[in-house]
Chains A and B, each alone.
Chain A
Amino acid sequence: MTGATLSGIVPHLPALQVVVPLLAAPVCFLLRRGVICWGFATLVSWAAFATSLVLLQVVLADGTIRYEMGGWAAPWGIEYVIDATNAIVLVIVSGIGSAVMPYARRSVMAEIPANQHGLYYTAYLLCLAGLLGVTITGDAFNVFVFLEITSLSSYILVSAGAGMDRRALTAAYNYLVLGTVGATFFVIGVGLLYMVTGTLNIIDLSERVPALQHNRTVHVAFAFIVVGMGLKLALFPLHTWLPNAYTYAPSTGTAFLAATSTKVSVYVLLRFLFVVFAPSYGFMALTLDYVLLPLALIGMVAATVAAIYQYNIKRLLAYSSVAQIGYMVLGIAYGSVEGLTAAILHLFNHALMKGALFLALGCIMLRVGDVTMRGVQGLGRQMPWTMAAFVTGGLSLIGVPLTVGFISKWYLITAALDDGRWPIAAVILASSLLAIIYVWKIVEAAYLKEPPEGRVVREAPLSMLVPTWVLVLANIGFGINAEFTVGVARTAAMGLLGGAP
């Protein structure tokens, strides 16, 4: 490829970011054979990752990119808008995808019937395309469409676990029902907004809605969108679909979904709350204080306590995810630059932690076939690299210094204390102390108990260990040097609140 064609491609990267995985999905379906599909999906993920990195770089250097899809100008056509906030989410989504895919081959072979492999990778590619689309688009209805592409494909990813446990089917079914209700709520909200403003373009909306701060229709739209997104991002107490879905999905599906799909929903919530509605006072601002904030706090504590009592480690981590989402929503509910910085930072950091943890669990699933407390007994000696990865991820979850979790906690607490919200800081701390308990349960089982009689297992294969450790090292790397992530998060937060860039 010559330099000229490269520079010719760059302006069209926003479109390619979504179109490539979207078109790849049917191609993957036609390829049929498992291994070929896997190789193809891996390449597509890497291409998407490379694209998102370039986009992030361009955005950080030159500011917001606006791309008109098909050359149709904004109010009629669909516009893709990329600023620091969604550029970083794009990197998270495609980055996690590129880490999970190389890992997937062995794991998928072990967990999913052979005749479904091609379909599984197809669903994955659709999900990737959907997530990237939701993130990148600047059109409210387009968000809904991509959201549904994501959802439909993720129901399939979850149900693919049916080969191992029939409960994957009911989990997927419940996820489908609640997910559809959530998405429909969202689209009702968007419809109401369209009714009063006559536009679906998010930038146009952001110019017209603030003038209608007291319009009843806008309030209703606001409520529908917040509840709909609350369902999608599993905000406590709308999280009931999540634990089962994450528990019974195949390891790779869980790792990918846990690290990306709720994050994208959080992003949508961020975008609508602060860019479209931009509440400064009145009904909508109060919602932050009196609805989101308490729910986030209760979710953080309740889900953490629930996690402590789990026997199945996948389910334990699923509950921990609900709690971690509470942290993000908490940062959102502060409504300040510090709070949003913390929320976006945690969005990124939590993807790294949960990605690493679920990948490590996948290694255990492959070798031991059991991801309960009994399964990990004595694994510290039998699968040292896997367990070391798991423990590092767990430490990050607790928020031990030199991991990304610490950076998140630090900024969340700083944001709370900055506003003088002492009780909230206390709840954050309490919840992270409780996290020690559930992580330590696993550590003790793995390192201080003897393996069950007669169980002989080997360390996981390199093709799975390497992606796991890439994420683990990212946990440490961005924990030791968080300048980049904090910088991006701050730029994004200021952008959302209408400050500089």
Chain B
Amino acid sequence: MNPSFLLAVTLLLPLLGAVFMALTGGRPNVREAVTLVTAGLLAAAVYALLQDVLAGGQPTATLVEVAPGLPLVLQVEPLGMLFACVASGLWIINSLYSIGYMRGNGEQNQTRFYICFAIAISSSMGIAFAGNMFTLFIFYETLTLSTYPLVAHKGTDEAKRGARVYLGLLMGTSIGFQMVAIIWTWIAAGTLDFTVGGILRDKIDPTLLPILLALYMFGIGKAALMPFHRWLPSAMVAPTPVSALLHAVAVVKAGVFTVLKVIVYIFGIDLLADTGASQWLIGVAAFTMLAASLVAMTKDNLKARLAYSTISQLSYIVLGAALATSFGILGGALHIATHALGKITLFMCAGAIYVATHKTEISQMDGLGRKMPFTYAAFLVGSLSIIGLPPLAGVWSKWYLAMGAVETGMWIVVAVYMISSLLNVAYLIPVVARGFFRPSPDLVPQSVGAAAAPAKDGVQEAPLLCVLPPCLTAAGCVVLFFYADEVIALLRPIVQ
């Protein structure tokens, strides 16, 4: 099939799927079949594109010229290819999981949920394959809007509040900062095309570069740099499949992906290395990394803890990019994939626990590990991958990121990476440890009240469709460990 056509297909497929879902709304089985078929087809299309890219192709498609000099262009390059693979691949697994979770919980408005999900995926594809910053910005905004109904899904006051923060921060930063940065770039450079080596050299006063970079970095609210990180914990009111795919993979990764794109293709790492314009970003990212980890330790709500962990992990990538070295960029890009696999596993496990027991607080989860061994095993594997232990994928991205820090001779950054990994251990492992080693409260009642509450309901594993997906992604963490080389080979061209 013609690659340009294929490229347009990746955007249109999920939209088409959304239309079909709307048409079949009344019948859950048909609707969910449509979701799965669409996800499968999308993955196939992305896979076909991947073959083309590996063969050295660079498919391009111009959709429409929005205004003179501002076309909507899609163009595949390695970084985007990686993001598209991650998002489309995990959509299949997440769709399975959504079915299990949404049915298991008897949620309302499921058709709206699946439709918005599909639109969000389409926007993610648009972000992944955007050929210029203008296109990327447009899909960035549609992604925000299409995920808003998902965050507000429950319609409770808490959900509304969370969704308001979500929309307010993401729209506020993107319109308030990012759009200005883009227009500034457009005026200065006369183009917004993603170009290897950047477009800003000699176009803008070097003393202004850090300001422009700041407008971009804080404007990309989805990368959750402090102090614009609040939306991510707020978004946790959403149903877990949303948190899993969107707020561990598609949305947040769209943020750091945009960061990488901006640094690699708008500024160019050489320009940043020469001018030192990204030095301040190293500090902010390092602070976010450590501070978010510390906050994560204080959270008892499992999803909130994972959310802060995500904030911290996103800053790994931003920090890698801010180093402006090839190792830093490669490590950051690889971390998009490895962290996605690890974190989606953890979220899906959290959801499985919720479906099975309706528990959300870590302190209530004592002893659950023995009743839900598969869920907890997957959780352990995901945690270890995020911490960065072999033979799990997470080790590679951390390795490259640390290498990037060493390359610049900034030992303090190396130290920050190490400390942060230790903090990962401190906030992830206790969850597993409590599950396996603490006695269940209903077996050994510590007080009269505690004994009365959990009736002998015989907690067991969540439905198959809730448990299988996290096990698959956990296995994925192992597999990616052995195939990381291929990913690096794919990414290599972006830093040449």
Contact = CB atoms under 8 A, between A and B. Distances in A.
11 contacts: A399-B175, A413-B183, A414-B187, A417-B180, A433-B172, A436-B171, A444-B152, A444-B160, A448-B160, A482-B67, A487-B68
Given A410-B67, A414-B186, A429 B141 contact: no
Contacts of A432: 175
Interface string B229-246: 000000000000000000
A418 B190 CA distance: 12
B176 interface: yes
B148 to A, nearest CB: 9
A480 B179 contact: no
Given A399-B175, A400-B145, 7 more contacts: A400-B141, A410-B67, A418-B187, A430-B176, A433-B171, A444-B164, A487-B68
Contacts of B187: 414, 417-418
Contacts of B137: 401
B4 interface: no
B1 interface: no
A401 B142 contact: yes
B142 A448 contact: no
B152 A481 contact: no
Interface string B284-298: 000000000000000
From A395, A401, A482, residue with most partner B Cβ within 10 Å:
A401
A483 B67 contact: yes
A482 B138 CA distance: 14
A192 interface: no
Contacts of B141: 400-401
B4 to A, nearest CB: 19
Interface residues of B, number: 30
B455 interface: no
A223 interface: no
A491 to B, nearest CB: 12
B180 A402 contact: no
A347 interface: no
Contacts of A425: 180, 183
B184 interface: yes
B66 A480 contact: yes
A181 B261 CA distance: 57
A273 interface: no
Given A417-B183, A448-B155, A429 B176 contact: yes
A173 interface: no
Interface residues of A, number: 31
B67 A436 contact: no
Contacts, number: 73
B167 A402 contact: no
Contact of A429 (B160, B167, B175): B175
Interface string A401-439: 110000101110110011000000100011011001000
Given A432-B175, A448-B160, A407 B68 contact: no
Contacts of B457: none
B66 A481 contact: yes
Contact of B175 (A395, A407, A433): A433
A425 B179 CA distance: 11
B55 interface: no
Nearest to B63: A480
B65 interface: yes
Contacts of A398: 171
B64 interface: yes
Interface of B: 64-68, 70, 72, 137-138, 141-142, 145, 149, 152, 155, 159-160, 164, 167-168, 171-172, 175-176, 179-180, 183-184, 186-187
A432 B174 CA distance: 12
Contacts of A401: 137-138, 141-142
B167 A436 contact: yes
A411 B171 CA distance: 19
Contacts of B176: 429-430, 433
In the A-B complex, the 8 residue pairs with the closest CB atoms: A401-B138, A482-B67, A401-B141, A486-B67, A448-B155, A429-B176, A413-B183, A414-B183
A220 to B, nearest CB: 39
Given A436-B167, A444-B160, A410 B183 contact: yes
B231 to A, nearest CB: 14
Contacts of A486: 67-68
A194 interface: no
Given A401-B142, A436-B168, A429 B68 contact: no
A344 to B, nearest CB: 14
A164 B184 CA distance: 50
A385 interface: no
Contacts of B68: 483, 486-487
Nearest to A444: B160
Given A402-B138, A433-B172, A448-B160, A413 B180 contact: yes
A29 interface: no
B179 A413 contact: yes
B216 to A, nearest CB: 15
B152 to A, nearest CB: 6
A401 B137 CA distance: 8
A331 to B, nearest CB: 15
From B138, B172, B179, residue with most partner A Cβ within 10 Å:
B179
A190 to B, nearest CB: 37
Contacts of B175: 399, 429, 432-433
A144 interface: no
B473 to A, nearest CB: 32
Interface in A34-82: none
Contacts of B70: 410
A429 B180 contact: yes
Interface string A458-487: 000000000000000000000111110011
